[in-house]
Copies of this chain bind each other. A is one copy, B any other.
């Protein structure tokens, strides 16, 4: 459905310097598809294509490129193409690009913008990273509530060219105070002489420029709008956020959460494009921290060395028991982190969650304990493998499973709440982090249960 292109053909056309054929073939393409070709071409070849493309189409195609590719191009494009491209970009996309660039390159690139656009970029750059101010564009159209529908349409016809969206228009007074938003279709369908200020039908929903990324996504999900206005603390209209950017933001947020849940820092770039050392750094940090945490298991086990010496059979079940606790914790933490991220749960719900996890953790523990018991009790070679006290061992394993699965569920569910309470991101409570916590406790539970049940027989 999205068309297919033969990328080698473009490389060939460039190599043979067949500029005219190249231009004609590019003319037939959608900018998004040109961007797809550009993403695969080496930077020099992309430069050639930017020289050939008309100014406006070059800008749009550039916007469709992934951020890291844009950053690379900014460094390699000549002055002329750079100006062409940067000046045509939507302000919000340009801001995101600048965030990605090293400060030196940013300074150089900003200097290529014309004065008016520079002002826009600076304004957008004044808001903290990850806030509504960073995702907004200033390319909206604002109307006065005293205009009639016919005057409004005339105004749109005169000033609408080049705005990021005309689907929604904004009513603001002379000072810029946001009063309402109107769909273009509402103006079209209104009687020509109706005052725009009287048309308002839906409650005004506006985002503060300081609203977080999650608040932005949630407002769009809740109100089903294609664009939402952004105001400063005084209610003055400063920009709008369009839903296409929100979709990108939501997907990026989910990617970050998944990567952190997997026990690493968020990559912030596509897998195949991140450098080898960057990747090792983002993964190695947490792996090392977890390893150091896991060393506590060695310390814990050295306390039980005597028990293991007397009953080596106990060692056989260590991986089984600690990993069951880890799995139970991994489930609970994934559930709760996502529910907190999409605001199904709030901080105040921790008690409800704790009491649910207590019940489901206990039930799950009993199911697993039963399976574990049966596995040992009915194993054909149970007496040679586990010795004459195999029934007691089966009971030990079963009780330990109940304990670790319950503890894993509680610990995995409560840790994200605790982190949120301490103003950390709940997603820091990755599955491996919870598993490590549960491993140490799991060993203590196992050997405590063992010493209670096996005292006088094996121990």
Query: Residues 399-435 of chain A: 1 if any B CB is under 8 Å from the residue's CB, otherwise 0?
Result: 0010001000000000000000000000000011001
Given A298-B316, A345-B271, A432-B330: A360 touches B322 (CB 8 Å cut-off): no
Q: Is A119 an interface residue (CB 8 A)?
A: no
How many chain A residues touch the partner (CB < 8 A)? 125
Q: Are A319 and B294 in contact (CB under 8 A)?
A: yes
Q: Are B336 and A271 in contact (CB under 8 A)?
A: yes
Q: Are A251 and B248 in contact (CB under 8 A)?
A: no
Query: Residues 251-275 of chain A: 1 if any B CB is under 8 Å from the residue's CB, otherwise 0?
Result: 1001101110111100100111000
Q: Is A292 an interface residue (CB 8 A)?
A: yes
Q: Is A320 an interface residue (CB 8 A)?
A: yes
Shortest beta-carbon distance from A256 to chain B in Å: 9
Q: Are B334 and A319 in contact (CB under 8 A)?
A: no
> Which A16-42 residues have C-beta < 8 A from chain B?
29-30, 32-33
Shortest beta-carbon distance from A143 to chain B in Å: 13
Q: Within the assembled complex, what's the spacing in Å between the Cα atoms of A181 and B316?
A: 66
Which residue of chain B is the closest to A381 with respect to CB atoms? B302
Given A167-B184, A327-B263: A29 touches B287 (CB 8 Å cut-off): no
Shortest beta-carbon distance from A401 to chain B in Å: 8
Q: Is A207 an interface residue (CB 8 A)?
A: yes
Partner of A323, one of B243, B326, B356: B326
A interface majority secondary structure = helix
Shortest beta-carbon distance from A397 to chain B in Å: 9
Q: Is A246 an interface residue (CB 8 A)?
A: yes
Given A244-B225, A259-B338, A330-B262: A323 touches B251 (CB 8 Å cut-off): no
Q: Is A15 an interface residue (CB 8 A)?
A: no
Residues of B within 8 A of A118 (CB): none
Q: Within the assembled complex, what's the spacing in Å between the Cα atoms of A336 and B267?
A: 12
Query: Residues 265-294 of chain A: 1 if any B CB is under 8 Å from the residue's CB, otherwise 0?
Result: 001001110001001100110111011101
Shortest beta-carbon distance from A245 to chain B in Å: 8
Which residue of chain B is the closest to A220 with respect to CB atoms? B247
Residues of B within 8 A of A236 (CB): none
Partner of A291, one of B64, B371, B435: B371
Residues of B within 8 A of A1 (CB): 205-208, 211, 215, 219
Q: Are A294 and B280 in contact (CB under 8 A)?
A: no
Q: Are B156 and A258 in contact (CB under 8 A)?
A: no
Q: Are A2 and B32 in contact (CB under 8 A)?
A: no
Residues of B within 8 A of A211 (CB): 1
Q: Within the assembled complex, what's the spacing in Å between the Cα atoms of A48 and B50?
A: 62
Q: Is A239 an interface residue (CB 8 A)?
A: no
Q: Are B339 and A270 in contact (CB under 8 A)?
A: yes
Of A165, A185, A203, A405, which is in contact with the most chain B CB atoms at under 10 Å from its CB?
A185
Q: Is A120 an interface residue (CB 8 A)?
A: no
Query: Residues 202-223 of chain A: 1 if any B CB is under 8 Å from the residue's CB, otherwise 0?
Result: 1101111001000101011111
Query: Residues 101-118 of chain A: 1 if any B CB is under 8 Å from the residue's CB, otherwise 0?
Result: 000000000000000000
Q: Within the assembled complex, what's the spacing in Å between the Cα atoms of A223 and B272?
A: 22
Q: Is A392 an interface residue (CB 8 A)?
A: no
Partner of A255, one of B251, B331, B342: B342
Shortest beta-carbon distance from A236 to chain B in Å: 14
Q: Is A122 an interface residue (CB 8 A)?
A: no
Shortest beta-carbon distance from A363 to chain B in Å: 5
Q: Is A160 an interface residue (CB 8 A)?
A: yes
Identify the A interface with B (CB < 8 A): 1-2, 29-30, 32-33, 64, 153, 156-157, 160-161, 165-167, 183-185, 188-189, 202-203, 205-208, 211, 215, 217, 219-226, 243-244, 246-248, 250-251, 254-255, 257-259, 261-264, 267, 270-272, 276, 279-280, 283-284, 286-288, 290-292, 294-295, 297-298, 301-302, 305, 308-309, 312-313, 315-320, 322-324, 326-328, 330-331, 333-339, 342, 344-345, 349, 352-353, 356, 359-360, 363-364, 367-368, 371-372, 375, 385, 401, 405, 431-432, 435-436, 439, 443
